Amino acid sequence: MLSPGIYIKLTSVAQEMTISTSSTLDSFKLRFSSVFPSSPPFNISSHATFSQSLLSNLLGSLSYFHGSSLISEPFPSETANSGPNFWEDAAKSRQHRLPQTAGPFELLTHVPSRSVFPRGFLRDEGFHLLLVVEWDLDLALEVVRSWLSLMDDDGWIAREQILGLESRVKVPKDFVVQYPDIASPPLLFWVVEKYIDMLSGKVKYKGHESAYLTGKDESEKLLEELYPLLKRHYNWFRKSQQGNLLTHTTLHDVYPMEAYRWRGRKPGTNYASGLDDYPRAEPPHITELHVDALCWVGVMAKTLAGVAKYSKNSEDLTSLQRQYKGIKQNIDTVHWSETEDAYYDARVAEGQHVFVSHKGYISLFPFITGFLDPDHPHLNSTLNLLRDPEELWSDYGIRSLSKKDSMYKSGDDYWTSPIWVNINYLIIKELLALAQMPGPYQQKCKEIYNELRDNVIRTTYSSWKDTGFAWEQYNDKTGAGQRTQGFTGWTALVVKIMAFPDLTVGGEFDEDVEDKVKELLKEMGKDGPLSTGTFLVGTVLCGFVYFFRRRFAALFREMRR
């Protein structure tokens, strides 16, 4: 039995913790409303609860990993990249090439799902940081530095970071070994681009105080560190994923060299692209040219040009602008099908340049990576593809593959019908940009933007309200969350979508009746079923992360130095 003195002390400590926790949560909510202010019709408390929960869970996934990695020796180029069945040759070669233990390495990163995917993914982290960079710029940049520190001398970064024996035990055998010819979508470049926009004043930053933004010496040192690494990775990608335009002899007016194909292709899969089972050429072919790979090189060139311009590096700026212009030219020359009004992958068949005709996310890549200006000749066709219910449009978001496609819902149905929030975020973001710029399709972009934004938010919110979880993807027929439960990685980008402005004119969306009732009950001081146990855990977690996040980042910075 506790003595009176100990009891009083424990009570006092509990009261202090309660006050401290309450104060921290209030501070979190206040800052959240400033950084991510929800726009109508989602600016009510139940939606604020939803978005705060997603952000807190994403921030709570910040992890530190340390250990060795298993890396294969590079394949001879003639084995990996040529021959009619090059994937079979590569598989045979792997049987005789023992992986090497490299490292130890260390990594600070957020993870897509703490329970299912507790490791670092290069592409995923880029999506994660598109949200984190606005909340805490310095934390996001420390994570970028951490990832870039894993780059080898050639410029390669392993797409998955499985560091240490404990991490390897949790990963399927086929994904443990990393291959230095395999690339990954370079989304970290977008984070750096955002940073440059903040430095130059193009974008207003509302997040936590930033030494990298306000300190001139800190920002200059950081750019001096990051730019050579980003440039090395860019050059590695262009060299390692180079496509062979010379085999496409029937093409005219193409810009030399600017065409790419993902290495590591197998029948039915293209893991390097991040769109695992999205239909590509079957069987795989060495003449393939992938439109998404070309677009990603364009993203890198644009980001590097922005850094070079800010740093007054005129020589690099001229070269990068020339390469970007060539990429933009080849997106239309190599990948646009005049007969089908869509962008596709391409290959050579019977001596002819032909398209791999599968309308879906791949067809949208020139759009979502910003290559379609307001007056671009292919913008209207792309918007029509987006909005067609028989193609990509659904009441719950943009599906990954057209309903008309023969591969729709085929195989594991991973990227062949479901709705993915990360891609929908990119679509909505670009629609918003075009809706705010004068052009012949400005009003059309605005209308699609409003409707799609509404659909995606309602889909993710409804599923969260029903289940208490964010999900890896959503069913295009029902809107139900599916695959990985508790996937608060890039699905958390719905927080950004909710903060995008409402562009409707002359009317309002109807708010959910249940939410109105809950708002009324709250005003009357009565309790309603406003939260779940899952939300309670998430809320406490967000307070913990909010309080300790800077100490964690600062500690890691000192460790790396």
Q: What is the DSSP letter of 178?
A: B
DSSP 409: T
Paired tokens of 112: 């897509």
Asked about 276 being catalytic, the answer comes back as yes
The pair phi, psi for residue 373, each rounded to 5°, is -70, 170
SS3 554: helix
Distant-in-sequence, close-in-space partners of 110: CB < 8 Å, separation ≥ 6: 58, 59, 61, 62, 63, 125, 128, 129, 132, 143, 489
What is the per-residue DSSP string for 329-394?
HHHHHHHEETTTTEE-EEEEETTEEEEE---BHHHHHHHHTT---TT-TTHHHHHHHHH-TTTTEE
Whether 133 and 195 have beta carbons less than 8 Å apart is answered as yes
d(CA 292, CA 243): 13
Whether the Cβ atoms of residue 35 and residue 206 lie closer than 8 Å to each other: yes
What angle in degrees, to the nearest 10, is found between the helix axes of 314-335 and 291-310? 160
Q: Which residue type, as a one-letter code, is found at position 346?
A: A
Specify whether 197 is catalytic: no
CA angle (329 as vertex; 333, 244 as ends), nearest 5:
65
* CB-CB neighbours of 64 under 10 Å: 14
The residue from 345, 391, 472, 512 that is catalytic is 472
Name the helix (H) or strand (E) containing 135.
helix 122-135
CB atoms within 10 A of CB 218: 15
Tell me if 276 sits within 8 A of 410, measured CB to CB: no
Q: Is 509 in a helix, a strand, or coil?
A: coil
Query: The tokens of 331 are what?
Result: 């997106």
The burial class, CB within 10 Å (0-12 / 13-18 / 19+), for 323 is buried
Dist CA 192 CA 223 (whole Å)? 9
Identity of the amino acid at 262: W
Question: What distances in angstroms separate CA 139 from CA 5, 82, 422, 545, one per listed residue?
Answer: 43, 43, 21, 12
Report the C-alpha gap between 347 and 342 in whole angstroms: 15
Contact 258, 330 (CB under 8 A): yes
Give 270's contacts (C-beta < 8 A, 6+ positions apart): 262, 264, 276, 278, 280, 290
Alpha-carbon span 112 to 121, nearest angstrom: 8
Q: What angle separates helix 442-467 from helix 421-435, to the nearest 10 degrees?
A: 150
| Residue 506 neighbours by CB distance under 10 Å | 4
Q: For the purposes of burial, counting CB atoms within 10 Å of the CB of 230, is it exposed (0-12), middle (13-18) or buried (19 or more)?
A: buried
In the set 276, 332, 454, 502, the catalytic residue is: 276
Catalytic residues: 276, 472
